[in-house]
Amino acid sequence: MNPLPLHGLRVLVSGAGVAGPSLAFWLARYGATTTVVENAPALRTSGFAVDFRGPTHLGVLAAMGVLDELRSLQTHGGASSCVDEHGREIFGLPAEFAGGDVEVRRRDLSRVLHDRSADRAEYLFGNAVAALTQTADGVYVELARGATRTVDLVIGADGLHSGVRRLAFGDESRYARHLGYHLAGWDLPAAAVGGPRLPTTPQQYNVPGRMASVSRDDRDPDRAGAFLVFASPRLEYDPTDIDHQKELVAGAFTGGRWLVPQLLDTLPAAPELYFDSISRVSVPQWSTGRVALLGDAAGGVTLGGMGVGAAVVGSYVLAGELAVAQGDHRTAFAAYERRLRAYTGRWQRGAAPGEFLAPSTAARLWLRNALLRTRVVQRLLVAGTKSIATELDLPAYPVPADGHGLAA
Ligand SMILES: Cc1cc2nc3c(=O)[nH]c(=O)nc-3n(C[C@H](O)[C@H](O)[C@H](O)COP(=O)(O)OP(=O)(O)OC[C@H]3O[C@@H](n4cnc5c(N)ncnc54)[C@H](O)[C@@H]3O)c2cc1C
């Protein structure tokens, strides 16, 4: 006899970012058989620091047993400085503002979550869901590389541009709203931007509608990370054409001052680029039949600040509700959405990261700088994000002890 509540349930998860591996971890804990399909050839390594704030986020990480490991990987680089073109500080922001309570590189987070679930779930990299057909008993899934699977449930944890959402819910244009900005991030040799003189705390330079920032890696002094944001209408590009994306970034920052020319010089050699529009995703209902959405695919804002926190909390709740409902997806999907929709909606509604990071006019830039120079505004911002992150009573699901029946 196998007492685990999801024993025998077959789940296919699309996306091995943050939500996908977290869900795979919890589903395995409850006994489900999980396959994670990721379209990148390996875990993605680009992107920068992401953070968790408040007891709700940290509570889930602790329950997963990853909190200590993540603390050991903290960036310690959260405090940031806004500088003028000569590198003189205009204002500084405290570490908790940008870095929350635990700040780690996105790639470290994704790797830790993957490693905790890799021996309990099947991971298929370089593959994607190409077609989905729901029947009364399951979902017939065709994979892009030719194989097929029949599973009980499919979860779209494949980010803002979710492929599962497109297949099961309809075109992205119905759910994603462009917020007038794009962003780009890549790794570069620190020597290109001052080497050891470059601080490990982010230095940010603005002109209206443009923000460039750079910081040295605190664990690898030879590496640095660039992160750029620019105002623009929605750009058309092939997500797999990295050279074209680099051209778009270079075009947007041509003629820039401060360290911008040196940053752009490193762009052609960058092996990976995180390039995206800043968009808000809002899906009126997170499930349809046996297919549900999780993390940014369900609702998120690029750089919205709570993406990873909402992804791990959402995974915990979705798996917990499935376990409580003994795998009955109708009951579980409804309960998952009821518990989480207001929580994710609150931080999502007000988030305008593009306008905050790169105010679009000289007057708005001046006003932002004037406000952020004051301690009281800084304190209000830190308190506000923490209280939104905590506004959820985390249900205590009956989680089986680790290792219990997992190999069965
Ligand atoms: C490369 C990258 C870098 C990022 N860097 C930052 C950052 O620096 N700061 C920040 O605040 N946020 C960043 N984000 C966003 C942040 O990681 C998310 O808000 C948060 O992790 C939410 O988790 P998620 O798992 O829902 O989505 P994501 O973390 O975006 O993960 C989605 C995963 O699904 C994969 N995927 C996409 N389409 C398909 C498909 N059709 N089939 C299969 N797999 C698919 C993606 O490759 C990705 O691995 C980044 C996202 C990515 C993908």
**Best of 204, 245, 274, 313 for a ligand 1 pocket test (most atoms within 8 Å of beta carbon):** 274
Question: H helices of 137-241, where?
Answer: 163-169
CA 295 – ligand 1 centroid, Å: 9
Dihedral sign from CA coordinates of 288, 291, 297, 299: positive
Which residues does 283 contact at the CB level (< 8 Å), separation at least 6?
165, 169, 175, 293, 297, 298, 299
Q: What per-residue confidence (pLDDT) applies to 192?
A: 96
Whether pLDDT at 403 is above 60:
no
Domain boundaries, the chain: 10-76+106-177+280-349+376-390
Q: What value does the mean pLDDT of the chain take?
A: 90
CA 246 – ligand 1 centroid, Å: 19
Strands 203-207 and 148-151: unpaired
Residue 295 vs residue 381, higher pLDDT = 295
Whether pLDDT at 344 is above 70:
yes
Once rounded to an integer, what is the mean pLDDT over residues 209-228? 92
User: How far apart, in whole angstroms, are the C-alpha atoms of residue 249 and residue 73?
Assistant: 30
Once rounded to an integer, what is the mean pLDDT over residues 174-197? 94
Once rounded to an integer, what is the mean pLDDT over residues 158-168? 96
Dump pLDDT digits (tens) for 22-42.
999 999 999 999 999 999 999
Dihedral sign from CA coordinates of 163, 106, 284, 395: positive
CA 373 – ligand 1 centroid, Å: 32
Residue in this structure with the two tokens 């922001």, named with its chain if needed: 93
Q: What per-residue confidence (pLDDT) applies to 406?
A: 34
Tell me which residue has its CA closest to atom 10 in ligand 1. 303
Backbone torsion region of residue 77, taken as left when φ is above 0, otherwise alpha when ψ lies between -120 and 50, otherwise beta: alpha
Cα dist. 127→34, 40, 340, 359 in Å? 15, 7, 29, 38
Q: What per-residue confidence (pLDDT) applies to 200?
A: 87
Residue 77 confidence class, pLDDT cut points 50, 70, 90: low
Closest C-alpha to 388, from 356, 342, 357, 354? 342
Residue 17 confidence class, pLDDT cut points 50, 70, 90: very high
Once rounded to an integer, what is the mean pLDDT over residues 334-340? 95
Cα 395 from chain centre: 23
Residue 305 confidence class, pLDDT cut points 50, 70, 90: low
In ligand 1, the atom with minimum distance to the C-alpha of 185 is 8
Once rounded to an integer, what is the mean pLDDT over residues 304-321? 90
Residue 93 confidence class, pLDDT cut points 50, 70, 90: confident
Coil, strand, or helix at residue 324? helix
Dihedral sign from CA coordinates of 186, 191, 192, 195: positive
Least confident of 75-89, 281-295, 384-398: 384-398
Q: What per-residue confidence (pLDDT) applies to 217?
A: 86
Residue 96 confidence class, pLDDT cut points 50, 70, 90: low
Once rounded to an integer, what is the mean pLDDT over residues 45-62? 86
Cα dist. 84→200, 206, 211, 213, 259 in Å? 18, 8, 11, 12, 11
User: How far apart, in whole angstroms, are the C-alpha atoms of residue 104 and residue 57?
Assistant: 14
Q: Pocket residues for ligand 1 (CB within 6 Å)?
A: 14-20, 37-40, 44, 46-48, 50, 106, 128, 157-159, 161, 163, 185, 274, 295-297, 300, 303, 307-308, 311
Once rounded to an integer, what is the mean pLDDT over residues 345-355? 76
**Best of 14, 23, 44 for a ligand 1 pocket test (most atoms within 8 Å of beta carbon):** 44
Least confident of 112-121, 165-174, 222-231, 301-310: 301-310
- The answer to whether residues 406 and 29 touch, using CB atoms and an 8 Å cutoff, is yes
- The answer to whether residues 46 and 186 touch, using CB atoms and an 8 Å cutoff, is yes
Q: What per-residue confidence (pLDDT) applies to 391?
A: 67
Q: What is the 3-state secondary structure (H, E, C) of 180-201?
A: EEEEEEEEEEHHHHCHHHCCCC
Residue 375 confidence class, pLDDT cut points 50, 70, 90: confident
Dihedral sign from CA coordinates of 267, 268, 272, 278: positive
CA 396 – ligand 1 centroid, Å: 27
Write the single-letter amino acid at 318: L
Least confident of 45-59, 143-157, 285-299: 45-59
Whether pLDDT at 154 is above 50:
yes
Tell me which residue has its CA closest to atom 49 in ligand 1. 17
Statement: 10-76+106-177+280-349+376-390 belongs to CATH 3.50.50.60: yes
Q: What per-residue confidence (pLDDT) applies to 201?
A: 86
Backbone torsion region of residue 209, taken as left when φ is above 0, otherwise alpha when ψ lies between -120 and 50, otherwise beta: left
Q: What per-residue confidence (pLDDT) applies to 408?
A: 28
Write the single-letter amino acid at 39: N
